[in-house]
Amino acid sequence: MSTHGLIIPHHAPASPRYDDDTRALLHKAGLPDFPYHNIAARERLTADLARWPLLAETVLSRSGRAT
């Protein structure tokens, strides 16, 4: 039996695509550096950090704010 089918190939992370509607609209309006913040993404991150305390500890330790 070959293990070839069991090995999952490693793919490099995809680079960010420019398909964000808000960013595209800001670019078309001539405001590419407008400080837009995705509130829904921030809320999801907050919920994820509350759900997984180890993830929160990792984020804090990487940002240098750990006690």
pLDDT of residue 35: 87
Instruction: Write out pLDDT tens, residues 3-61.
Output: 555 555 556 555 555 457 888 888 899 988 888 888 888 899 999 999 999 999 998 88
Tokens of 50: 């509350």
**To which residue do tokens 């929160």 refer?**
56
Q: Are 27 and 34 in contact (CB under 8 A)?
A: no
Rounded (10°) angle between helices 39-51 and 53-63: 110
